[in-house]
Amino acid sequence: MLSMKYWTIFLMLSLFGSLSAQSGKLDQKKRETSKSTIYLIPNVYTAVVIGNDTVACMFLKDFIKYSPIRHRTAHEVVQYNRLVRDVKRTLPYAKEVAIIILETYEYMETLPDYKTKQAHLEKMEKHLREIYTPKMKKLTRSQGQLLMKLIDRETNSSSYHIVESIMGTFKAFSANLLAGFFGNSLKKRYNPYDEDRMVERVAVLVEQGAI
């Protein structure tokens, strides 16, 4: 039977400007007018001059604030710290895979026939094997399972649906059958409001740079 790390490799292979700065002094006459003047401060932020005031303009990302966690036992502390470590390790991979899946799917739609699509998939598989096999070998079983959840999170699609869309029903069925040997299912969805709520919390905090 294949080990978990090789199962993860198999599934991974199945999934598939900046503003230019402007500077310069504003004319005194323009400063005295009530009309707002918009310009760019080099390497900082866009600003709006209103009368004698300079107001910085910036886009703020959504910020989610969670209540502090109160761990009841030392074991819960260890589990939480392990989850933080695993999310930090696997979330970047999940985001990379999501981009690859989107780009591969969109490009496949432009190919004229089945033969050309298969040739492209084989090329992609070789490329992914070279890049991700060494990385996936270093993941533990729990990290491999977490990666599948985070890929669902990033793509809003189950692993089964992703494989089926790109590789076909037969390969999706085969991959799901293999996952069953390890007690997993590619059809199982990521649930941030129930069983995966702690994973979602940690993932959001990692994205926000809070942990």
Q: Using one digit for the tens of pLDDT, what is the confidence trace for 50-97?
A: 888 888 777 777 788 888 899 999 999 999 999 999 999 999 999 998
Residue 197 has pLDDT above 90, yes or no: yes
User: Which pair of structure tokens corresponds to residue 9?
Assistant: 């490799």
**Is 114 part of any domain?**
yes
pLDDT at 29 over 50: no
How many independent structural domains does the chain possess?
1
> Which candidate, 70, 74, 73, 30, places its Cα nearest to that of 52?
30
Per-residue pLDDT, 85: 96
Q: Is residue 64 part of a domain?
A: no
Q: Is the pLDDT of residue 27 over 70?
A: no
Does residue 56 sit within a domain? no
Q: pLDDT tens-digit profile of 123-140? A: 887 888 888 888 888 888
In a domain, 199, yes or no: yes
| HSE of 92, CA atoms in CB hemisphere, 13 A | 7
Question: What's the whole-number average pLDDT of the chain?
Answer: 77
Q: What are phi and psi of 54, to 5 degrees?
A: -110, 115
Residue 59 maps to a domain: no
35/127: higher pLDDT: 127
- Does the predicted model carry a pTM greater than 0.75? no
d(CA 141, CA 53): 57
pLDDT value at residue 80: 95
- Assigned domain for 96 exists: yes
Closest Cα partner for 196 from 73, 49, 94?
Answer: 94
Chain mean position to CA 122 = 24
Residue 87 resides in a domain: yes
Contact assessment for residue 128 and residue 13, using Cβ atoms and an 8 Å cutoff: yes
Domain that holds residue 9: 4-15+71-207
Residue 29 lies in a domain: no
pLDDT surpassing 80 at residue 48: yes
